[in-house]
Structure 1
Amino acid sequence: MSQPRLSNLALYLQRLGFDEAPPPTLETLRRLQWRHTGAFAFENLTTLSGDPVLIDLASIEQKVLHHRRGGYCYELNHLFLALLQELGFDAQGISGRVVMGQPEGAWTARTHRLSLVTLHGVRYITDVGFGGMVPTGPLLLDTSAEQSTPHEPYRIEQHVDGYTLRAKVENEWRPMYIFDLQRQEDIDYKVGNWYVSTHPDSPFALRLMVARTGDGWRRTLNNGSFAIHRVGHESVRREVADVEELIALLQSEFDIQAPDSERLKQTLGRLIAPA
């Protein structure tokens, strides 16, 4: 069965700053990943609206490219994989287990989607949907060396169960997620997406999470806590306690057109209310 294809490649590339389709090279992959994390924010507003998160390619295209929205890994990395394949990259979807913020050695559910890209026999992982710590450049898979990106350094550790991605934050190598190269089918992603978007214990159902990158900075929004993190500088933070101000912030700082939903506004109001 043939895979669904992008319906508007030209618009997608235009949003990423390309006038025409670039060649499938490592430099292209680097530019695409860096620009993608800046152009399309990570966000979970659909889940907080109480609506189903649709992860078929047509629905993701409509949401992200036409409705000025972002998404999370099952949306953004699906869309990005389709783009890579359309451009001629040898790329496939894989999955992982998020352990960021968990005790060392934790083993969580398989709820993260990313991609494996092979260029001239060399393997890389690429990820545009990992929130506030998304890698902003592709990472060599088969090395344990420190790897630079436009933002933090990362490294990949291989172990008996696969690989662990770590980021260097405040001079500490913190685990981000565990992953392997097991073949994934649409049903695998549907199950993971169903869990993260509907399970009452899922963090995506419990708090607002938004992130976007730029030249030397990351912006994050966790409930009402807005922060700008600049490489080599102290983070600047402020609290947002008004729903209309929060919606305006989504537009001005993250380029997100929030859905006009009373349920969403009520949920956001509850999440940002002072404790």
Structure 2
Amino acid sequence: MSEDLGFGWQSGLLDLPAYLKRIGYDGDPRPDAATLRALHRAHVTAIPFENLEIILGRPITLDLATVQGKLVDRPRGGYCFEHNRLFAAVLEKIGFEVVALTGRVSMGAAKLLPGTHALLHVRTPGQPVEEPALLCDVGFGAGPLEPLEIPGDREADQDGWGFRLRPGRVTTAWSPSTHLWEMHQRSPDGWIQRHTFALDEAFRVDFDVLNHYVSTSPRSPFTARPYVQRFSPEALHVLDGTTLTTRRPSGESSERALAPEQVPGTLAEVFGIVLDGDDPARLVKALDGSNLDV
């Protein structure tokens, strides 16, 4: 067996039929734009965003076997590095040209924040370089439902949800060739800059380093409380700690507080996440502020 030098996404280790069944894709996937859009939509709406392993005191591991076992073989989800680790392998297996990128999540903040988000820049085989590529963002938890053209400046209305890409502002004189982009999402109060990213290639090892920070640092928002999202054309469901929020494309929203013991059932009913073993009890203890070593 040849040495793994860290390039590519190890798609030879992927169980593609199991993945397609998990996301409800019925067909013969081909490396074309129509297939990519369908796969993106199916993935985003089938596999939720969640950080529960961190809250349960377990590490997030990005080897393909572990990610596939969690997101495909079990009724679980993950966050951006897990989602895009899996989706990159899927696209590579089908025959797409895949380049990973990393982004800085801002959610409207002016402060410079670290690069903690993963995205994928995808082309069909042999696609001319002058034609727009497709930006895939399956791991944010709140869409988009389908890829966005890049470069591109059109607002995308996807089943009532609004997204757009805009060229960003480069602030460093030493990198005049940097191509910076901003992802915007439409909210009831107007457009909000969701994250920025540069067209600089990232690799599996970069995912590993960033994943370590996101999953272990006390400064990371994902080490502080459960954060779960389920996105569909009809609604965005968000569990933030013990607060359950539902937003609609119209801008309508509702919110309710849950008791800690209600959370495991809500995860199953609303998010399709079924915790097994003693994990439901451990999660309730974590939400109660109790020690997880039970």
**TM-score of the pair, normalised by structure 2:** 0.85
Supply the distance in 1 between the matched residues of 2:31 and 2:251 (Cα, whole angstroms).
35
Contact 2:29 2:94 in 1 (8 A): yes
**Partner secondary structure for residue 55 of structure 2:** helix
Task: Give the structure 2 partner of residue 144 of structure 1.
Answer: 153
Query: How many residues matched?
Result: 267
Which range is displaced more, 72-81 or 145-154?
145-154
Contact 2:9 2:204 in 1 (8 A): no
Supply the distance in 1 between the matched residues of 2:160 and 2:241 (Cα, whole angstroms).
24
Aligned CA RMSD, in angstroms, stands at 1.8
Q: Are 2:129 and 1:123 aligned?
A: no
Contact 1:21 1:87 in 2 (8 A): no
- Aligned partner of 1:16 among 14, 23, 41: 23
Supply the distance in 2 between the matched residues of 1:195 and 1:57 (Cα, whole angstroms).
19
Task: Give the structure 2 partner of residue 268 of structure 1.
Answer: 287
Note the 1:14-53 alignment, pairs <5 A. 14-53=21-60
Task: Give the structure 1 partner of residue 232 of structure 2.
Answer: 214
Percent of paired sites with the same residue: 33
Cα deviations by residue, 1:77-113 (Å, 9 ceiling, x for unpaired): 111111111111112211111111523xx32111111
Which range is displaced more, 22-31 or 254-263?
254-263
- Aligned partner of 2:203 among 179, 182, 185: 185
Structure 1 position 151, deviation (Å)? 4.4
Cα gap change, 1:198 to 1:151, in 2 (>3 Å): farther
Unaligned runs of 5+ in 1: none
- Aligned partner of 1:107 among 107, 112, 117: 112
The residue type equivalent to 1:268 in the other structure is: L
Cα gap change, 1:255 to 1:83, in 2 (>3 Å): same
The residue type equivalent to 2:287 in the other structure is: L
**Partner secondary structure for residue 148 of structure 1:** strand
Structure 1 position 197, deviation (Å)? 0.3
Task: Give the structure 1 partner of residue 274 of structure 2.
Answer: 257
The residue type equivalent to 1:78 in the other structure is: R
Contact 1:209 1:221 in 2 (8 A): yes
**TM-score of the pair, normalised by structure 1:** 0.91
Structure 1 position 268, deviation (Å)? 2.3
Structure 1 position 258, deviation (Å)? 2.0
Task: Give the structure 2 partner of residue 227 of structure 1.
Answer: 245
Structure of larger gyration radius: 2
Supply the distance in 2 between the matched residues of 1:230 and 1:71 (Cα, whole angstroms).
23
Cα deviations by residue, 1:39-71 (Å, 9 ceiling, x for unpaired): 100000011011110011110001111221100
Cα deviations by residue, 1:168-226 (Å, 9 ceiling, x for unpaired): 11251101111112121222111110001000111000121111112321111111111
Supply the distance in 2 between the matched residues of 1:83 and 1:129 (Cα, whole angstroms).
14
Supply the distance in 2 between the matched residues of 1:19 and 1:32 (Cα, whole angstroms).
10
Contact 1:99 1:175 in 2 (8 A): yes
Which range is displaced more, 1-10 or 212-221?
1-10
Task: Give the structure 2 partner of residue 4 of structure 1.
Answer: 10
Q: Which runs of 4+ in 1 moved over 6 A?
A: none
Unaligned runs of 5+ in 2: 171-177
Task: Give the structure 2 partner of residue 167 of structure 1.
Answer: 185
